[in-house]
A and B are shown apart, each in its own frame.
Chain A
């Protein structure tokens, strides 16, 4: 067992690498993005309750995409108003991308590729 120290050293390095993300971020305070303060009864466009938009907007967007591209159903009625089922002509005509999309996506560390094609001004 004269090589034992090599194994121990190797293990320490591996454990160090694997746990790197933990101690690199330890003690840091990360600012939570402002929550969607929604009334549980309130609906957003497209029949997803406003309180669930954060977890389910991807499903909504997927459904809109099928409806627009495949069925040519491009508009949605909500509260007597007509809205376009579109990121750039719909969502972003009321919301601001930086605040509405980017903040949360950065916080949870996802990089959706919506903006590779859709234009977020």
Chain B
């Protein structure tokens, strides 16, 4: 054979490139293709329902109105009341305008709005980043109605979802929550140390044909329904009132809308 050492090395190098390099470049194309197609078909954008909520903040008149709403949720879902802010667990709570709508506060804005507590909860986003990052598919989006759900059995507590959620909608159980539950609802499970939890849009109540507990307790301040149904109450409100969502520029597509309203000008 008349192949000298130099030619042999060249040939070997080239075939290695084709063999390994070629393959992995090809792989890359395939993966990019898959990612690209994922980005175009937003989960939940398909047929089926898209459940949403409209919160009319002007209908909250007293601190009791807020308390009643969060109590309704936290009591039926066995959400613990932990005073230590670092360990706190919350499904629905309140925050200030400045924090709920960052970048939209203004020094000349009506003071009552700036001081008003805004109810906040998981936005059940149309393109939820929490779902994209979860390595175990513990967090997933229900195709039938767009509810972002969790399977606590599968949560490994990595908290990627907490880092990914731009709304702080998720809490982590640093300790066993059981001792901090005021009154156990024995028909609903608790969570355990080491899992993340958040609002489930009352999936268990929806399944029984009921409205979410917070909506039921809100005296009409919270309205719940299907965004894909043009005759739904939420669509009716959205077509007649000016409503805003949290951080829409991030593109997660929140399904919680806020009607600010404000005072009937005194």
Contact = CB atoms under 8 A, between A and B. Distances in A.
Contact of A117 (B149, B186, B192, B204): B192
B192 A72 contact: no
A116 B186 contact: no
A70 B140 contact: yes
Given A72-B142, A72-B144, A72-B203, A119 B186 contact: yes
A85 to B, nearest CB: 12
A68 to B, nearest CB: 9
Interface string A48-75: 0000000000000000010001101010
B184 interface: yes
Contacts, number: 32
A69 B149 contact: yes
Interface residues of A, number: 13
Nearest to B191: A117
Chain B, interface residues (CB within 8 Å), range: 10 to 19
A65 B186 contact: no
B207 A72 contact: yes
B182 to A, nearest CB: 15
B140 A65 contact: no
Contacts of A113: 192
Contacts of A116: 176, 192-193
A69 B189 CA distance: 13
A121 interface: yes
Interface of B: 140, 142, 144, 149, 151-153, 176, 184, 186-187, 189-193, 203-204, 207
Given A69-B149, A89-B187, A117-B190, 17 more contacts: A65-B151, A65-B153, A69-B153, A70-B140, A70-B151, A72-B142, A72-B144, A74-B204, A74-B207, A88-B186, A88-B187, A113-B192, A116-B176, A116-B192, A116-B193, A119-B190, A121-B186
Interface of A: 65, 69-70, 72, 74, 88-89, 113, 116-119, 121
18 contacts: A65-B151, A69-B149, A69-B153, A70-B140, A70-B151, A72-B142, A72-B207, A74-B207, A88-B186, A89-B187, A113-B192, A116-B176, A117-B191, A117-B192, A118-B189, A119-B186, A119-B190, A121-B186
